[in-house]
Amino acid sequence: MKGQKEPVLAVKELCVSFTMYDRGLNRREFEMVHQLSLTVNAGEIVAVAGSSGSGKSLLAHGILGILPENAKVTGTMEFCGRRLEEASLKKLRGREIAFIPQSVKYLDPLMKVGRQVIGPCSRAEKKERQEKLKQVFARYQLEESVANLYPYQLSGGMARRVLISGAVMKPAKLIVADEPTPGLQESLARETLCNFRELAQEGCGVLLITHDIDLALQMADRIAIFYDGKILETVPAAAFSGDGRAFLRALPQNEFAAEQKFPGAGNTEGFRQRII
């Protein structure tokens, strides 16, 4: 990690609500994200971990300024010490702030994916970007010929790898990755997070939104536990090592197995109890 950590992203008391109408055409506001505060420092990966449907993607979309028109956002967001506003976000998106969306529908269906990954560039930059595309595609096990395909010609896994490729093509100060690994083989999911770690070591901040806490703990510096539109607690990933790993052993993918110590079992002995 280069230099001292500095805030790349600072979210303070963010609230996201939506104006909706019920059957009686009564106007109501539903708040989905509640007084959320979060920081991402230069050179670190912060994982926001929570169940599907808890509102994690709203956090990502709020940061990027891509919420629908009926959304109301309060609170403040700062990027490298500057307040994030609609005008500044338009200049930062795709340049200093990279986004990996959860849905592959974010790919332009009318444009070949190679052009989308390379992005707008001058003639002088084009050759360099094309070489970089080859390197990134090779890393994510995509043939060079994929660049000439349209999104509808890609499998779901290929489309997700194309989205990741587009985000890591150009140097960015912040990457917001919204569930980037579902649908990927485990080796490619690990490779994606290894790539994030490399970028963090170069000074990039990474906000990783995921429900795969097992994978996040392998690379993240801090874990923010997200539930029902709120961050309950943000702790160092190291807090889940040692005795903290009992939490992981109790997850469904680990067969609900947790090791517990009971009185009389001795200081070093214990036994495994299944939580069913």
Tell me where in the chain the CATH 3.40.50.300 domain(s) lie: 7-237
Q: What is the DSSP letter of 71?
A: E
Give the pLDDT score at 269.
37
Q: Give dist(CA 230, CA 178) in Å, integer.
A: 17
Give the pLDDT score at 35.
93
Q: What is the DSSP letter of 95?
A: T
Q: Give dist(CA 114, CA 134) in Å, integer.
A: 10
pLDDT in tens, the chain (276 residues): 444 567 999 999 999 999 888 776 788 888 999 999 999 999 999 999 887 777 889 999 999 999 998 999 999 999 999 999 888 898 899 889 999 998 888 999 999 999 999 988 888 888 899 999 999 999 999 999 999 999 999 999 999 999 999 999 888 999 999 999 888 888 888 899 999 999 999 999 999 998 877 778 888 999 998 888 899 889 898 887 655 555 555 454 555 454 544 344 333 333 233 323
Structure tokens, 95? 């340049």
Q: The domain 7-237: what is its CATH number?
A: 3.40.50.300
**Neighbouring residues of 112: CB distance < 8 A, sequence distance ≥ 6:** 147, 148, 149, 150
CA distances from 243 to 48, 239, 275 (A): 21, 9, 17
Give the pLDDT score at 245.
54
CA distances from 230 to 39, 54, 100 (A): 14, 9, 22
